[in-house]
Chains A and B, each alone.
With several copies, the nearest count.
Chain A
Amino acid sequence: MSYTSAETMIAVAARSLPNHARIFVGIGLPNLAANLARKLYTPDNILIYEAGVIGAEPLRLPISIGDPCLVTGSLAVCSFHNIFANYLQRGLIDVGFLGGAQIDRYGNINTTVVGDYRNPKVRLGGSGGGCEIAIFAKKIITIIPHDLRHFPAKVDFITSPGFVGGRQNRTALKLPGGGPEKVITNLGVLEFDADGEMILTHVHPGVTVEKVRENTGWDLNVASEVKETDPPTPEELRVMREELDPDGVYLGRRKSKTA
């Protein structure tokens, strides 16, 4: 069964989630991965959306982070302030899913600006709740395409702090959450070493370590033994294609979404 690298990325991300956890879910790829996991592996997870929706069970693929289909039949709705104060800052979120325009070796994410903040080359969306998710969630999983544009040596702007300048940096800042745990790309999986620096631990089927290094903007650390991820299973592909994204909005038949 053929599959795309985007499908591998989602399947691997889905398998990385713990069960019995509270997941703060962004729309788009994180939403697909979290819902794939919920259907196949982690039925007891509670999905929480930035718009203030807890325990959503949408009857269609949500178009935006505030889609009405997320609300009808959900367990609870709370205000914009409460989702950050009562859920994130209070420390109730186990896993935060993030995307981004740039990520650096310490897992810092930029979604604010390419170039100088005051004289931008490309003005991006900004933090939204990204900074809060990065600061407060017990662990962060990032899903991001793997190329030199997305993996620069240094992000142009720290929107969502990872380990900042290294693990001791984050500790000194006393950021409540645990920080980055995994980065899942279309090439492989990266984790963080004792210093808080990214280290390649897995490549996807058919991807070489060299290819990953070529697509990374710094001299990437590589684990002594790099494993290969399992390809998407037929069941994973079926759920993704038939149940979660039947119109292919997120999985390649249309340009992928942000919100």
Chain B
Amino acid sequence: MQNDCEKKSKVMDLYTAVKKFIHNGDTIYLAGFTHLIPFGVAHEIIRQGIKDLILCRATPDLIYDQMIFAGCARKIIFSWSGNPGVGMLQGFRKRVEEGKLEIEEYTHFGLATRLLAGAHGMSFYPLKSIRGSDLPLYNHYIKTINCPYTGEEVTVVPALNPDVGVIHAQRADQEGNVHLWGIMGEQQEVAFASKKLIVTVEEIVDESVIRSDPNRTLIPGFLVDAVVELPWGAHPSYAQGYYDRDNAFYIKWDEISRDEEQVRQWLGEWVFGVANRQEYIQKLGAENILRLLPRNSFSNPVNFGIYL
């Protein structure tokens, strides 16, 4: 979040946004539960060679696997690691098995609760989960207290406040007021919990589009430090209403990621081999783009009324 609301323009290109706000050693959270995963930002982080990052994400997913392979990660804070719908997350898994990657592990609800506490300005929140599992034996941030009313023992987790949060969404105005729909994941919590926030969107729209439906605004612009228009910025994941998940790539990554040499080649070609996201999309090509387009299904409008 900006320290003040000064009206310096937040609209910038991807390179500038990453250069300006993400630094070696930062704790970062690239948000998006299976949907709107900010691959565009991840690839730019890799291109800029940013190191020693603490990567937080409920589902590390391909996006963190690529960053792990590229040497960006010092530690992963997570709650489920996998290639969703395909299988294991090979890079992550291999480095953890070899003892080469530090992890701090939660359940989904535990990690979501950490974010909610961070978003709400609380230092902790209680939840009734995790008890009975073995996780607290290996993660000493997971503690217990007694409910001051019932005496019942409950789990507590500390707030998570990343240095930088990254969100990809369907649309925002130039100030970063974000409309996001479909699976909402943890994006709002990440936006409020993070100290700085980068938003990439399929489209920058006029403020009037946002103001036509304030209930749709998931993130207010004053939390946002950088707004980047980045069509297809979530590929190979998807953007509801804009494009489908490129499942062929998810399956292909399962093969690529079993072999360090293939990964090196893939990063060379698709990340280092392109200067920016536009070149990536060019390289992806018209056929792939067309293959992933959905047909239209629009929401029924609602009336806000004009009150004079």
Contact = CB atoms under 8 A, between A and B. Distances in A.
A and B touch in the complex (CB under 8 A): yes
Contact of A120 (B97, B107, B220): B97
Nearest to B96: A123
B188 to A, nearest CB: 6
B190 to A, nearest CB: 10
A128 B59 contact: yes
A135 B131 contact: yes
Interface in B162-176: none
B11 interface: no
Interface in B103-136: 105-109, 112-113, 115-116, 119-122, 127-135
A77 B128 CA distance: 23
A91 B99 CA distance: 38
Contacts of B275: none
A132 B220 CA distance: 21
A204 interface: no
A52 B82 contact: no
Q: On chain B, which size bracket covers the interface?
A: 35 or more
B81 A119 contact: no
B135 A90 contact: no
Contact of A22 (B192, B222, B308): B222
Chain A contact residues, majority secondary structure: loop
B215 interface: yes
Interface stretch (A3-11, A63-71, A140-148, A216-224): A63-71
A75 B108 contact: no
A75 B213 CA distance: 8
B183 A51 contact: yes
A71 B304 contact: yes
Interface of B: 1, 4-7, 33-35, 58-59, 78-82, 84-89, 92-93, 96-97, 99, 105-109, 112-113, 115-116, 119-122, 127-135, 137-138, 152-153, 177, 181-186, 188-189, 192, 207, 210-212, 214-215, 217, 220-223, 238, 240, 244-245, 247, 294, 297, 304-308
Interface of A: 20-22, 27, 44-46, 50-55, 57-60, 63-69, 71-81, 84-86, 88-92, 112, 117-132, 134-136, 157-161, 164, 170, 173-176, 255, 257-259
